[in-house]
Amino acid sequence: MIRTALELLDEKGLDALSTRAIADRLGVRMNTVLWHVKTKARMLELMADAVIGELRLTGLPPAPDERVRELARRYRRTLLAHRDGAALVVGTYGADPNILRFAETLVGALLECGLGDREVAWTAWAITYFTLGLTQEEQAAGHRPLGDILANAVSATTHPALHRVVAHLAPGSFDERFEFGVDAILAGRPPARR
């Protein structure tokens, strides 16, 4: 059922996904789908866990800071592999096996970096939410890129600061922006508490 839901997600996008659409695709009644997943929210959680389950956690760099960077890259690539993958994951709050395995690996690497418990938790959230946000923007960029929107809306006289930087918000710069953001998060982390 979740595999069918992911196929529909990739074909039609998150907005078109429903328990009825899944039932129609499977040739069953909607109640049959709901019997298995109970609610659409739970279905989305299971889908998010299945997407994160595609993220490979083997072959990671031995250095913990590089491991964190590579985990963030793999997280982003996994989200990008599915239409609306970031929007799917950002709207869920599941504590399912694949999500927990990824979180455990990320938190473990951050602990090895020497951060205190609170700093590890907050850095993990910062990396996760940054990745989700940028990836969601990237997946929507095909519709109307932010750089294009701003280029048509700002001028040097009315919005001088935005006008000055708008060229750096081009849709093609997502890879560079991602690397910059992860580096900035890791460079800005506070020292470990003793």
pTM of this structure: 0.88
What is the rounded distance in angstroms from the CA atom of residue 22 to the CA atom of residue 119?
41
Indicate whether 194 pLDDT > 60: no
The alpha carbon of 119 is separated from its chain's Cα centroid by a whole number of angstroms, namely 21
88-97, 143-152, 159-168: which is most confident: 88-97
pLDDT of residue 122: 95
Helix residue ranges per DSSP H, 53-159: 64-80, 85-90, 97-112, 117-140, 146-153
Question: Domain 1-38 carries which CATH code?
Answer: 1.10.10
3-class SS of residue 43: helix
Domain boundaries, the chain: 1-38, 44-187
**Mean of the pLDDT values across residues 52-64?**
97
Give me the residue label for tokens 């078109």.
16
Q: Which residues of 23-51 are buried (b: 16+ CB within 10 A; e: fewer)?
A: beeeeeeeeebbeebeeeeebbbbbbbbb
Is residue 128 very low, low, confident or very high in pLDDT (cuts 50, 70, 90)? very high
Domain spanning 44-187: CATH 1.10.150.20: no
Q: Is 33 or 84 the better-scoring residue by pLDDT?
A: 84
What is the rounded distance in angstroms from the CA atom of residue 143 to the CA atom of residue 115?
40
1-38 with 44-187: one CATH topology?
Answer: no
**Mean of the pLDDT values across residues 95-105?**
96
